[in-house]
Amino acid sequence: MPRVKFKKGRQSKFLNNVYRHSNFTWSQLANELNIHRRTLFDWRREKFTMSNRAFGICLGLKNKETKIPEYKMLPDFWSASRAARKGGLKVVERHGNPGTPKGRVRGGLISQQRRKKYPEFYRKCNLKKDISRPGNSTELAEFIGIILGDGGIGSDYQVVVTVHKENGRQYIGFICSLIKNLFKLTPAVYCLQSPKSKKVVRITISSSNLVDFLLARGLKKGNKVKNQVGVPIWIKKNKKFSKSCLRGLIDTDGCVYGHRHNSHGYNHYNIGLAFTNKSIPLLDFVYNTLEIYNFSPKKQGGSSVRLYRKHEVLRYYQEIGFSNSYHSKRLKNFLNLKKKL
């Protein structure tokens, strides 16, 4: 409803003049204006601006001696933007800035918690994304290897995989396709902006159903090193699943490298393959699986498993392979370099 805005002190003076010349009591004047007596007194005290409708009735009640002070009309919802601003500032003061990454995460978590606690208020909302729940397979085993390598489950709602922005360009597409094929979900890909993480891409799948599924398949939430996580039993019991999981682990936490060494007075250049991780169960799995496939792995420093022989690295490439093309490109580059030396 439009309102009438007077200069300070004028609204009170106008209503007093109307009251004086109308021969009404204040209660009668309030009834005439079709408002509560308390509202009329609030207007008289200038706590609020008076309505345009009531102002029109007052004009009909005034006599010739009642002067109409200068005023201006305020349109409908004239105070909405100001009230919205005050409300927004109060929310920021109480809960923090919702426009920052930290604020968005906090808001999302609070929203999910409320939806779980009060589902009756969110009946028309899709509380959980429908996902495909695949059976045990080589593809699922490789995805679990990727999660155990450079991924993780940090909350009840999200699964995250981190990949190098430049070295993993093709691999990012592979992981996203694998997620779509397995779970019928489309992940979000974020390029991090902080100085320490500007070369990192984060692949995020937001689905509490997916988290529940992966936990049921043997994964764990939280820090992998602190919890000393290992490969699920159903993978270790199957040779093909172990092979696929091994590929996922080395694609993420492994590398192909060139190394020089001296033997009998001669300098040699060779090619090696290393898997580095601080989870002992994962190191044991990589070591044991390589042995199952008749490789000769070596443990080094309590945090890595390595293949030192060129022919074994080539056999790994041929029999187990890389889904991350960055490793195969490095292998070819080292082979070319070795030919030139």
The Cα 150–Cα 145 span in angstroms is: 9
What's 49's DSSP letter?
Answer: P
Predicted confidence (pLDDT) per residue in 150-180, tens digit = 999 988 889 999 998 888 889 999 999 999 9
Dihedral angle over CA of 117, 123, 129, 135, nearest 10: 90
- For 338, the enclosing helix (H) or strand (E) is helix 325-340
Q: 138 is written with which tokens? A: 């080589």
Q: What average pLDDT score do residues 263-279 get?
A: 83
Q: How much of the chain exceeds pLDDT 70, in percent?
A: 92
Residue 126 has pLDDT above 80, yes or no: no
pLDDT at 106: 79
- Give whole-number Cα distances, 121 to 116, 124, 157, 180, 303, in Å: 10, 8, 20, 31, 50
The Cα 11–Cα 49 span in angstroms is: 8
Name the CATH superfamily for 138-228: Homing endonucleases (3.10.28.10)
pLDDT at 292: 95
HSE-up of residue 200 (Cα within 13 Å, Cβ side): 15
Contact 306, 336 (CB under 8 A): no
**N- to C-terminal Cα separation, the chain:** 88
Burial (Cβ within 10 Å: 0-12, 13-18, ≥19) of residue 44: middle
Q: What average pLDDT score do residues 67-75 get?
A: 80
Contact 49, 11 (CB under 8 A): yes
Predicted confidence (pLDDT) per residue in 194-203, tens digit = 777 778 899 9
Q: What average pLDDT score do residues 134-150 get?
A: 96
Residue 58 has pLDDT above 90, yes or no: no
Contact 235, 241 (CB under 8 A): yes
Predicted confidence (pLDDT) per residue in 92-115, tens digit = 777 777 777 777 777 778 887 887
Fold of 248-340: Endonuclease I-creI (3.10.28)
Residue 304 has pLDDT above 90, yes or no: yes
pLDDT bracket for residue 264 (50, 70, 90): low
- Give whole-number Cα distances, 176 to 121, 179, 225, 338, in Å: 34, 5, 25, 35
What's 119's DSSP letter?
Answer: G
Compare 104 and 213 and report the one with higher pLDDT: 213
What's 72's DSSP letter?
Answer: E
pLDDT at 76: 67
3-6/71-74 β-pairing: antiparallel
Three-state DSSP at 189 gives: strand
pLDDT at 118: 80
What's 45's DSSP letter?
Answer: T
| Per-position DSSP letters for 127-171, written without gaps between them | -S-------S-HHHHHHHHHHHHHEEE-SSSEEEEEEETTTTHHH
In the predicted model, what is the mean pLDDT of the chain?
Answer: 87
Q: What are phi and psi of 100, to 5 degrees?
A: -90, 160
Q: 301 is written with which tokens? A: 């420093």
The Cα 174–Cα 324 span in angstroms is: 8
Cβ count within 10 A of residue 248 = 26
pLDDT bracket for residue 65 (50, 70, 90): low
The Cα 59–Cα 29 span in angstroms is: 13
The Cα 324–Cα 303 span in angstroms is: 22
Residue 128 has pLDDT above 80, yes or no: no
Three-state DSSP at 10 gives: helix
pLDDT at 113: 82
pLDDT bracket for residue 265 (50, 70, 90): low
pLDDT at 62: 73
pLDDT bracket for residue 261 (50, 70, 90): low
- C-alpha of 137 from chain center: 28
Domain positions in the chain are 3-74, 80-122, 138-228, 248-340
- Report pTM: 0.64
pLDDT bracket for residue 235 (50, 70, 90): very high
Q: How much of the chain exceeds pLDDT 90, in percent?
A: 51
pLDDT at 222: 87
- C-alpha of 226 from chain center: 23
Tell me whether domains 138-228 and 248-340 share a fold: yes
Predicted confidence (pLDDT) per residue in 30-54, tens digit = 999 999 999 999 999 999 988 888 8
Q: Which CATH architecture is the domain 3-74 placed in? A: Orthogonal Bundle (1.10)
